[in-house]
Amino acid sequence: MTARHDVALVTGAGSGICAEVARGLAARGLHVVLLDKDAEAVHRVADGLGDRLARDPLIADVTDPHALTSAVDSLAPQHQPGVLVNGVGGDTRARPVTELTEADLQEAVTHNLASVFTMTRLCVPAMVAAGWGRVVNLASVAGRTYTRFSNAAYVAAKAGVIGFTKQCAYELAPHGVTVNAVAHGVIGTERIRRAWEEKPPQWTADRVSHIPAGRFGSVAEAAGMVCHLCGEDAGYTTGTVVDVNGGLHI
């Protein structure tokens, strides 16, 4: 079974950056397979894709490898993705390491790293068979350096995503499959804005003051680079970590 150049699978596609990525890829002419655990949210996104929706959304929790395996196994040959966007993750809990436990680390790794590992492992063989593929992993500025916005468990998990991306890029380049990561800074998704609204105004002002651009990034700005790396003209770009962070980390 081989992957199709014109089919993209996007995880975490029910909201935020990944919903916008799905819309962006559809606008570029790809047929999109959506995956999310929130059936109501992902069906709302699906309703806006029209005939660019490849099939009914896959409803699965990315922290459950068995559910992911079943979801990918359910794809018909015409829905085998040549493009995979691993887009879930995120943690807005700014907690010191002295308050974290092993359970926090396990949760961060399961959500942010293990899910990327599982989806890549499941989808890449069909890309190798086709001799073409694109994998884009959502990392984070936190995995590039340190964070004022989250915690050490999240940083460790996203740093793992970057390491995984580079190794996969090295292994898969001879097969025509590129693997890249996009390290976003603070993006103004609904989830992030809700989390920040709960903080004292001075807390928010202090964090924004450390962003040279002086603002959140937009969801469209965040998704645009992801969509570019999914394209035919990104075929000589692999193993990269593209920073989309308003100058927060240079």
Catalytic residues: 154
- Please answer whether residues 36 and 42 qualify as being in contact, where contact means their C-beta atoms are separated by less than 8 angstroms: yes
* Cβ-based neighbour number of residue 48 at 10 Å: 12
- Please answer whether residues 164 and 124 qualify as being in contact, where contact means their C-beta atoms are separated by less than 8 angstroms: no
Residue 187 one-letter amino acid: I
Torsion angle of the four alpha carbons 56, 69, 125, 82, in this order, in degrees rounded to the nearest 10: 20
SS3 110: helix
Shortest CA distance to 16 belongs to which of 246, 214, 222? 222
Residue 215 one-letter amino acid: R
- Please answer whether residues 175 and 131 qualify as being in contact, where contact means their C-beta atoms are separated by less than 8 angstroms: yes
10 Å CB burial of residue 234 (0-12, 13-18, 19+) is middle
Give me the helices (H) in the chain, please: 16-27, 39-47, 65-73, 102-109, 115-130, 141-144, 152-172, 190-197, 201-209, 219-229
Beta partners for 34?
A: 10
